[in-house]
Amino acid sequence: MRKFFSSFLEVLEVALVAVVSVFLIRTFLVQPFLVSGESMAPNFSNGDYLLVDELTYRLRPPERGEVIVFRYPNDESTYFIKRLVGLPGETVQVKDGKVTIFNKLNPDGLSLQEAYLPPGTKTNSQGELTKLGSKEYFVLGDNRSASFDSRSWGVLKEKELVGLARFRLWPVNDFRAFAAPNYSK
C-alpha cells in the first residue's frame, strides 16, 4: 500500500508541474491562435494556426509592420489579427490608395511601401487624418478591400494588445516565422 501511495504522489506531482507549466506558458509567453476569416489574405488564411508571442511586448514596444493579435475594442471577447501601421504619437492618412505616416522623423509624410501586399492593392478610405495618442495604434488587414480594421472602428488601445504573431504552425507545408517588414524609402 505504501508503494502505491508513493507512486500516486509521484504521478500527482508530475501532473501538477505539467498543469502549472502550461498555465504559465500560455499566460505569459505564447498562446495559440486560429485565424478566422480572410482579412489578412494572402499572407494569412482562414484556418491558419499561429503561435502568438505574449512576452516581446512586455520587453519592447510594438514595431510598424508587425502582425499582431488583439482584443477587438468593441467586444473584448473577440480576437482579431491585423498589421500594425501607425504607432503612438503619429498621424496616419489613408488617401488615394496609399498609407502615409506623419511623425517627427517624417514631418512631410512617409508613404509606406508595403511589399507584403499583392501588386496593385489599393487602401481605400476617406482620406482623413487619424492622430494617435501616446498609447494608441492604427491597424490594417492585408486584404484591404475586405478588412474590418482601424479605418472602420478607430484606433487600437495599447491595453488591447495580446501579442505578436510569431510562427505559423498549420498548414504544415506553409510553416514559417514572421518578422516586421522594412519600410525604408
Give the active site residues. Answer: 39, 82
- The C-alpha cell 495618442 sits at 133
Q: Which residues contact 99 (CB under 8 A, 6 or more apart)?
A: 85, 92, 93, 111, 112, 114, 123, 140
d(CA 91, CA 81) in angstroms, rounded, equals 22
Q: Between vectors from CA 22 to CA 17 and to CA 28, what angle results, nearest 5°?
A: 120
Question: Taking the CB of residue 69, how many other CB atoms lie within 10 A of it?
Answer: 20
| Rounded-to-integer distance, Cα 83 and Cα 66, Å | 6
Closest alpha carbon to 143 in 124, 128, 162: 124
